[in-house]
Amino acid sequence: MNELRGDTHSKTIGYLLWIFGFTGAHRFYYGRPITGAIWFFTLGLLGIGWLIDLFLIPGMDRRADHRYTSGNFDYSVAWILLTFLGLFGIHRFYLGKILTGLLWLVTGGVFGIGWLYDFCTLNRQIDERNQGI
């Protein structure tokens, strides 16, 4: 198994997604799907958690860098594609998942449910691809 760890996530992308933080995008990006969903449904804990996260992003970035495997697929590229073009499955095409990319393309991310699923699992999907699983 490939144990290559490195700078897998970017603070710049984290802060860019933080701008949309009331959606939890930055928390999903750093591999925190439960709190990402909480932020999504509570608008960033009514804005309070969103403001606090401004100071927590460097720590979230360090933990994500230690947790995930670097490799051929860039986490930041995949997350930008998912966040802004996810309903069209562009992130799935990037990961080489052509059939599900086509499915997402013609169904609007399987009616949005698959898009939300990918927010919760994209880091794991990229990690598996980078490990060759």
Per-residue pLDDT of 68-114, as tens digits, reads 999 999 999 999 999 999 999 999 999 999 999 999 999 999 999 99
Domain assignment of residue 1, yes or no: no
pLDDT at 21: 75
CA–CA separation, 23 vs 28, rounded Å?
Answer: 9
Q: Count Cβ atoms below 10 Å from residue 62 Cβ, excluding itself.
A: 14
Same domain for 106 and 75: yes
Same domain for 75 and 59: no
Same domain for 59 and 11: yes
Same domain for 80 and 50: no
Asked whether the predicted pLDDT for residue 122 surpasses 60, the reply is: yes
Same domain for 79 and 42: no
Which residues, in sequence order, are CB contacts of 78 under 8 Å at separation 6+? Answer: 91, 94, 95, 122, 126
- Cα 119 to Cα 2, 30, 116, distances in angstroms: 24, 11, 5
Which comes out higher in pLDDT, residue 3 or 100? 100
Asked whether the predicted pLDDT for residue 1 surpasses 60, the reply is: no
pLDDT at 102: 98
Domain end position, chosen among 28, 48, 67: 67
Q: What is the mean pLDDT of residues 55-79?
A: 96
Domain assignment of residue 2, yes or no: no
In Å, the largest CA–CA distance within the chain is 42
In the predicted model, what is the mean pLDDT of the chain?
A: 93
Measured in whole angstroms, how far is the alpha carbon of residue 95 from the centre of its chain? 13
Same domain for 75 and 57: no
Q: What is the mean pLDDT of residues 17-35?
A: 92
The number of folded domains in the chain is 2
How much of the chain is helix, strand and coil, in % rounded to 5?
A: 75, 0, 20
Quote the domain boundaries for residue 107.
71-133
Same domain for 35 and 87: no
Asked whether the predicted pLDDT for residue 55 surpasses 80, the reply is: yes
